[in-house]
Structure 1
Amino acid sequence: MTSGAVRRVRGDNPWEESFGSARAVAAGDRVLVAGTTAFEGDVLHGEGDPYEQARAAFGSALEALAEFGLGVDSVIRTRVYLAHVRDIDAAGRAHKELFEAVRPVTTLLVVEGFTDSRVLVAVEVEAFDAGGPARRP
């Protein structure tokens, strides 16, 4: 990472307060978005549907990137966490629809579970800010 200001953005996730973390952080020419699920407030989008949860989670992560003036074209890495190996194809289809044109490096992990058993998918996103470092205030 290049040197420059570090900027943190908070979200509305209650874990941020209890863990002392940020929704997203810009440091130099990189923006990192924390683990994101399909929750919006108390509503879980796509309950029981890994494709819809992946779409919603990535949509939320991209909204966090937008706080820094960045979009899907700046994404260089994604991580997809799944509760079940059976959901690989559904999550992969959602990922491809969003990122096929930019083709970020991607890591896919099957985990033991999430803090809410209804969550099937969580994602992380890392972006490169070509106009950086941390060009926004």
Structure 2
Amino acid sequence: MTIERVRTDSHWEAAIGCARAVAAGDRVLVAGTMPLVDGVLQGEGDPYEQARAAFGNALAALKPFGLGADAVVRTRVYLTHLRDVDAAARAHKELFDAHPPASTLVVVSGFVDSRVLVEVELEACREVRTT
């Protein structure tokens, strides 16, 4: 099995020693992704905007593999506040309603950046081709 890795310029990837996304066979895993663009938090204080930005970053990690939202089979949404469930769910529905994945939503005590309200993970599947 071939394993492919995609790295970005994320400070966290370098500090931790991880990749943004890893493909192993037909499975593509996208690491926990925050709503940061060029190191700048998007949507500070707004869980909907943070969810959109975090999912946008995670979906961008699928592009090198030729995949988009329709290939996503599982999402995980981590929130710091129960009150933000509806906002994050609205963002999720807008992106994935046409091809709904299995999804988990968890409320956590916090993230490495206390301004972050939402972090997401994705799992996607490449099309299986037979010859």
For Structure 1 versus Structure 2, the TM-score category normalised by the shorter chain is over 0.9
| 2:56 pairs with one of 52, 56, 59 | 59
Output the aligned Cα RMSD: 1.0
2:24 counterpart residue number: 27
Structure 1 gaps, min length 5: 133-137
Within 5 Å, give how 1:70-89 maps onto structure 2. 70-89=67-86
- Kindly indicate whether residue 109 of structure 2 is the aligned counterpart of residue 112 of structure 1: yes
- Kindly indicate whether residue 65 of structure 2 is the aligned counterpart of residue 68 of structure 1: yes
1:73 and 1:115 map into 2 onto residues whose CA distance is 30
2:84 and 2:62 map into 1 onto residues whose CA distance is 26
- Kindly indicate whether residue 84 of structure 2 is the aligned counterpart of residue 94 of structure 1: no
2:100 counterpart residue number: 103
Q: Does the residue aligned with 1:61 lie in a helix, a strand or coil? A: helix
More displaced 10-residue stretch of structure 1: 11-20 or 99-108: 11-20
2:126 and 2:97 map into 1 onto residues whose CA distance is 19
1:135 counterpart residue number: none
Q: Does the residue aligned with 1:26 lie in a helix, a strand or coil? A: strand
TM-score, structure 2 length as denominator? 0.95
| 2:127 pairs with one of 103, 125, 130 | 130
The share of aligned pairs that are identical, in percent, is 66
1:104 and 1:59 map into 2 onto residues whose CA distance is 16
Provide runs of 4+ in structure 1 moved above 6 Å.
none
